[in-house]
């Protein structure tokens, strides 16, 4: 009987601890802090858990294309330089299931980091960054074409 009561207490403690972990990531900023801690600890599993589903799919495609492992891609494609000793952020904006935070990069300028809420947990959304870069490249190409063809923007 005593063994079972200890087992139940231990089980309940584990359940409460697990529930507490989900509560910790109830804001984009908490996810960002957890991600930077995972980078410092080189905890690739934790890093992957903090990335959106679309971001992981994108990383898997890149890993296949480069004949590398998913862990290698995730480790090498962080938003922060390992030499950064301090995380500076500002302007957390939440709009429904999407959010952004401005983060100071290693060059001293501010980057906007997008987040998406999946199953109640905020995750970093690298896919949005990739889409924005593609759109900027397309706009730049269009402007270049207009200049080449004699049409000034």
Q: What is the pLDDT of residues 74-118, one digit of tens each?
A: 887 777 666 666 778 889 999 999 999 998 887 888 989 999 999
pLDDT reported for residue 6: 39
Q: Is the pTM of this model over 0.75?
A: no
So what CATH class is 25-124? alpha beta
How, if at all, do strands 98-104 and 110-118 pair? antiparallel
What confidence score (pLDDT) does residue 67 get? 92
Q: What pLDDT sits at residue 134?
A: 61
Residue-level pLDDT at 15: 36
Give me the pLDDT at residue 77, please.
77
CA torsion, ordered 100, 106, 108, 112, to nearest 10 deg: -10
CA-nearest of 111, 123, 102, 127 to 38 is 123
β-sheet bridge partners, residue 122: 117
Contact 96, 81 (CB under 8 A): no
Domain residue spans of the chain: 25-124
Mean pLDDT by 10 residues, the chain (153 residues): 41 39 70 89 91 92 91 80 73 93 86 92 84 64 70 62
């Amino acid at each position: 009987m005593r063994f079972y009561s200890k087992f139940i207490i231990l089980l309940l403690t584990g359940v409460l601890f697990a529930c507490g972990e989900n509560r910790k990531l109830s804001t984009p900023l908490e996810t960002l802090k957890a991600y930077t801690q995972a980078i410092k600890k080189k905890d690739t599993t934790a890093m992957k858990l903090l990335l959106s589903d679309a971001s992981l799919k994108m990383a898997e495609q890149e890993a296949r294309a480069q004949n590398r492992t998913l862990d290698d891609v995730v480790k090498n494609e962080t938003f922060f330089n390992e030499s950064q000793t301090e995380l500076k952020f500002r302007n957390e904006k939440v709009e429904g299931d999407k959010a952004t935070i401005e983060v100071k990069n290693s060059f001293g300028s501010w980057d906007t980091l997008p987040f998406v809420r999946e199953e109640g947990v905020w995750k970093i959304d690298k896919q949005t960054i990739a889409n924005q870069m593609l759109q900027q490249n397309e706009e730049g190409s269009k402007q270049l074409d207009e200049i080449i063809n004699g049409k000034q923007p």
